[in-house]
Amino acid sequence: MIHPATPDDLPRLLPMVHALAAHHGDPAACTLDDLHRDLFGPRAFLSVLMAEGGYTALYPVAQLHWGLRGVEMHHLFVTPAQRGAGLGRALVQAAVAQAKTQGARFLTLGTHPANDRARAFYAALGFDRIDPGPRLRLKF
């Protein structure tokens, strides 16, 4: 079941954030306090959708010159045990649904340029490449 993160989810979320950082070779510097501040604090600016074995982190973006709202998918993480079972697809679909409720007209994200598997995954979901570079967008 995918649901918006609550403060009670943070102890489960933090190890997944750290695992994604490790996957990218980055230091795992995020703390529970950081997550609480960014998701639930007075100046929160991220939202997270949680599932057993995965999450996606989202934040609003805009194309002011076009008068359009959008959402950036900052993270999509699925634990190795859940990969290939459709959880990533379900999290992306939940992100699109949430974005639409916020009046967004697009969802954007970035991938590593050499991550052909991720690029194929997003292409199968209807994302288009934003040239130049490793950015992708799904319009709705």
* pLDDT computed for residue 6 by the predictor: 98
What pLDDT does residue 8 have?
98
- pTM for the structure as a whole: 0.92
pLDDT score, position 114: 85
pLDDT at 43: 95
b vs e for 14-47, b when ≥16 Cβ sit within 10 Å of the residue's Cβ?
Answer: bebbeebbeeeeeeeebeeeebeebbeeeeeebb
> Angle at Cα 137 formed by Cα 95 and Cα 117, nearest 5°?
85
Distance CA(77)–CA(87), nearest Å, equals 9
pLDDT above 90 for 34: yes
Confidence of residue 134 (pLDDT cuts 50, 70, 90): confident
For 92-119, how does the pLDDT look when each residue is reduced to its tens digit (9 = 90+)? 999 999 999 999 999 999 998 888 999 9
pLDDT digits (tens, 9 = 90+) for 52-69: 999 999 999 999 999 999
Nearest CA to 140 out of 110, 112, 102, 86 is that of 102
Domains delineated in the chain: 3-139 (3.40.630.30)
